[in-house]
Amino acid sequence: MTEIKIRNLRKEKESDGFRWTVIDSDAIHEYRTNANGEGLWVYAPNGCVWVESGKSTPVFEWRQIEGTCQFSLRGYTVSGARRKLLRKFTQMD
């Protein structure tokens, strides 16, 4: 089983939304919820590339991967959210 690390977990200012980074053996991924702490979005390539001076760079965007009814951190403290996220991302592995 891959070791999962949750880094930079923070509650957004003036909302109940969260942002965090997941580190596993394969990659680093950025995630967030909406302003209510619901839903799950990942920052991922959208299939387009930006070409400048012959150098291609993928274009990233926030993509919703779970709906507001399927995932929620609403009402969680940062430490409670960390425990829930570790359980979730360990199951996804």
User: Which long-range contacts (C-beta less than 8 Å, at least 24 apart) are formed by 79-86?
Assistant: 81/9, 81/11, 81/18, 82/6, 82/9, 85/6, 85/9, 85/20, 85/22, 86/4, 86/6
Is 37 within a domain? yes
Is 21 within a domain? yes
Nearest-5° angle of CA 76, CA 81, CA 87? 135
Tens-place pLDDT, residues 57-71: 889 999 999 999 999
Answer whether residue 4 shows pLDDT above 90: no
pLDDT tier for residue 25 given thresholds of 50, 70 and 90: confident
Is 92 within a domain? no
Token look-up 């939304």 returns 17
Count structural domains, the chain. 1
Is 87 within a domain? no
Is 47 within a domain? yes
* Residue 47 vs residue 42, higher pLDDT: 42
Answer whether residue 45 shows pLDDT above 70: yes
Pairing of strands 18-23, 5-11: antiparallel
pLDDT at 9: 95
Instruction: Supply the range of the domain harboring residue 19.
Output: 5-76
Is 13 within a domain? yes
pLDDT at 26: 81
